[in-house]
Amino acid sequence: MTLHRTLTATAAAAFAMAMALPASAEIPDMTLQMAHVYNPGNIWHDTAERYAAAIKERTGGKVTVNIAPGGTTGNWQESIEALQIGTNDIVLESIGTLDRYDPLPGIEAFPYLVRDLDHFKKVYYGPIGGELFDAIEAATGFKIIGAGYRGGRKLSANRKVVSLDDLKGLKLRVPPLKMYRRTWELLGASPVPMPSTEIYTGLQQGVIDGQENPFEVIWTFKFYEHQPYVMETNHVVGAMTFIFDANRFNSLPSELQQILIEEGEKAMLWGTEQMLAREDQYRADLRGAGIEIVEPDVEAFRAAVAPIKEDFPELADWVEKINSVE
């Protein structure tokens, strides 16, 4: 599998011709159910809508995608489980959410592994990205399509955090995933695994002192209403993706499979472009809402999490591969 993110003139012409052709009789009329936890107006909901519209157009209206946003059919764990029983066909989430099924997808959340936007593109949009996606499918039974840049994850909290000492005793919500929990244990916080749909209430009621997510999540989910500080830790540069049950995906007509791959990759590229266009605005919006943006001692953070590689020896080869991408 390869991930092509930039169309050459020849490929673009071929794509235009394909768009002009009528949908193949091979594709039956069907409805696919997509679920995610993001609200309308969020970049990733817009990305889902763009994907759905492209699928409908490419199939001549034969395939409709119904989108259940905002966790209306369950949190992301429940949504992914529903892929296996067939009540969901597509889930939009980060790659690392699959580490419940095998350690390999957790590589997406390996702290300070993906260095910056340029490194993100070279990893996920280059040959190694295709190899990684194939390996994740083989290990978990889930097919993933596309990689959308989320921006670096930041720490938001009810206290200012500059040094590692400032993290001591901080009750920090983390995704219920091994990689995140161990990362913040090494940093000295007290991680509290919690579904994303419970974060706002947890902050409001003081059950947790902080959480960590990209700017767009902090802003669009209004976590800043209960968090006066946002620290630019940038501990993970994460990737969103479209997740399918591999067996279900492989049972679909081959032409439809190709459309789902092509349009999924394009939609995630579009999501990446939107994030890049809005990331600075989110920062400005948070400042405008009275939030103090803090530059912590990132080098100390990086050094503190370095031993995490010993907790995940099965990822060593992939860590080396990704580190070697220049």
Looking at residue 25, its pLDDT comes to 53
Whether 143 and 101 map to the same domain: the answer is yes
Percentage of the chain beyond pLDDT 70 is 92
> Which residue carries 């080098």 as its tokens?
299
Whether 230 and 294 map to the same domain: the answer is yes
3-class SS of residue 244: strand
Whether 165 and 256 map to the same domain: the answer is no
Read off the CATH number of the domain in which 98 is found.
Answer: 3.40.190.170
Whether 232 and 312 map to the same domain: the answer is yes
Distances (CA, A) of 218 to 106, 110, 149, 304, 315: 22, 21, 16, 25, 30
The total number of structural domains that make up the chain: 2
A 10 A CB-CB count for 326 gives 6
Whether 187 and 309 map to the same domain: the answer is yes
Percentage of the chain beyond pLDDT 90 is 88
Convert the pLDDT of each residue in 101-152 to its tens digit. 999 999 999 999 999 999 999 999 999 999 999 999 999 999 999 999 999 9
Given pLDDT bands bounded at 50, 70 and 90, which one contains residue 196?
A: confident
In a domain, 117, yes or no: no
Distance CA 228, CA 222 (A): 12
Whether 61 and 99 map to the same domain: the answer is yes
In a domain, 264, yes or no: yes
- Kindly calculate the radius of gyration of the chain based on its CA atoms and give it in whole angstroms: 20
30-60: b (≥16 Cβ within 10 Å) or e: eebbbbbbbeeebbbbbbbbbbbebbeebbe
Distance CA 283, CA 285 (A): 5
Whether 178 and 306 map to the same domain: the answer is yes
Convert the pLDDT of each residue in 58-108 to its tens digit. 999 999 999 999 999 899 999 999 999 999 999 999 999 999 999 999 999
226-249: b (≥16 Cβ within 10 Å) or e: bbebbbbbbbbbbbbbbbbbbebb
* Owning domain of residue 228: 154-236+281-323
Whether 43 and 136 map to the same domain: the answer is yes
Whether 91 and 203 map to the same domain: the answer is no
Distance CA 124, CA 149 (A): 9
3-class SS of residue 274: helix
pTM: 0.87
Whether 163 and 136 map to the same domain: the answer is no
In a domain, 115, yes or no: no
Whether 169 and 285 map to the same domain: the answer is yes
Convert the pLDDT of each residue in 259-308 to its tens digit. 999 999 999 999 999 999 999 999 999 999 999 999 999 999 999 999 99
In a domain, 114, yes or no: no
In a domain, 111, yes or no: no
Whether 178 and 294 map to the same domain: the answer is yes
In a domain, 4, yes or no: no
